A and B are shown apart, each in its own frame.
Chain A
Amino acid sequence: MTDKNSTAPAIAVEDLWQVFGENAAPALRDARGAGDDKAIAQALKDKTLIPAVRAANFEVKSGELFVIMGLSGSGKSTMIRCISRLIEPTAGAVRIDGEDILQASDKRLIDLRRHKLGMVFQHFGLFPHMTVADNVAFPLKMQGAGKAERRARAMDVLELVGLEGREDTYPRNLSGGQRQRVGIARSLAVNPDIWFLDEPFSALDPLIRRQLQDEFLNIQATLKKSIVFITHDIQEALKLADRIAIMRDGEIVQIGTPEEIVLHPVDDYVAEFSKDVPKGRHACVESILMDGIPDNMPDDPGIKIGMTLDTALTKCMELYEPVPVRDADGKVIGAVHPHELANALQAEET
């Protein structure tokens, strides 16, 4: 995705390290001399320390849905806990709207959490001793909001997640999907700008998961939060993300749009993820435009920018000459060879 957004990034992560073990910070400083990031990580491992997040650098733009994906143990959960400062990173900076929260005082941090940050947890993290409404209103209570105000706001967000009528039940009486709706409602109660979601749908049944993903996209379409979303499911990542960062062994190996990840994996590890992904559904025709536009194109099946490969291919099944690709206004801005379309889809089968 090109840099259309000129505003400052909502979150900027700069050279972030999280090393577990005793005396991690000095060890990391010493290891800096070892050379590049891989050498530093190796030097730390030699000292039996665990570099769980290594030299992470990325930005999340305002209103962007940024997905971090990786297998378990790849450091993605550690990463989101560093960004939200649930654990103290060993080195680096995390800027939220330009402010480095790793330098923030405890008081400032509490303030940020009360007004600006929201988080959803994999196993919901609901307070077992509180009703649904009290759970949702808890962050407001921390802010010092009055009882009536809390209740009103809780009802609003519960309605947003489709749980109206369940406000006075206890979490133990809800199904997994309903519990996560409560978790989502709670994280939205203070109307935060930044929304962290740590594998929010991983503990749910596939059917419920898809339903919640769709609702989540709907909510995001109206609220336009800046989101960091953790998942281990490539389908989920591709479905939701504006951009995806893929992690392996604490390292970000590739950052890109879903299309880039699917069509241009930087290495075998990333390619392995997208192997089973039906590319035609995620990649658009732009990704396989020919160099230049041929002068003479006999057929025009009506291929448009933004059309997925699947759709494009069904339109030119019978054709074997390049066809024009038009933008929204109907202006020809490129061409694509049907042969290439078929090729791009076939590549996945290997």
Chain B
Amino acid sequence: MTSLAGIAQIVDEAARTATPIPQLTDSQPSLTVDDAYAIQALSVARRRARGERRAGFKMGLTSRAKMAQVGVSEVVWGRLTDAMRLEEGAVLHRARYVHPRVEPEVAYILKKPLEGDVSAAEALAAVEAVAPAMEIIDSRYRCFKFALPDVIADNSSSSGFYVGGWAPATSDVANLGILMEVDGRPVQVGSTAAILGNPIRSLVAAARLVAKAGERLEAGDIVLAGGATAAYPLTPGQFVQTTFQSLGRLSFHVEA
């Protein structure tokens, strides 16, 4: 069996060079979820060694429908670095990804650390501001096909994110309508309520799950709470714009 560090190098190189790889679980069916989080930590450590800085965390599989698709009952998480932050309104280069998709999200930024089992009220008290966001997800596995340990090892498909204008932490984001358009045509319609019924629950889960890995959410961290609709595939030439009820809109262009 390849060492965890060896696997971390494989997934990190796949992401760095936008080269698809076979599923890890094909050749190593005994890979566990704990192994996968260890691989994720080692692979992100490689990014840090190249100079990337910590930016926060992302949550995934935050709807029952997605959990059912993968056959799990728990959300997953990944790590964000500053190199994944994309400039809102600017160009996304398709060639830097394997098969990128976009999904609308809610972003929190923290003013205080959060660690372990916290209540929704405690989580909210640690929030500095909330913003509309879009995440670029890009599985490094061929055909976007993976088992749970594969996706976790692959940093939960995280590859980029856009954050719109920040609104006060007290903004009610429990059930905001979302309209995602490509070239002015609707491609996804949904609500932030799709994120575990209320996105704040995702922040609570983030504090608990990250603590299980011996880390904590820090002041200044951004937490992407999870996709609010199905993800939409990106191709060059698209203009993608997502409008959130009362939070405003954000957009980007896709080029080759």
Q: Do the two shown chains form a genuine complex with each other? A: no
Listed in ascending order, the chain B residues whose CB lies under 8 Å from chain A are: none
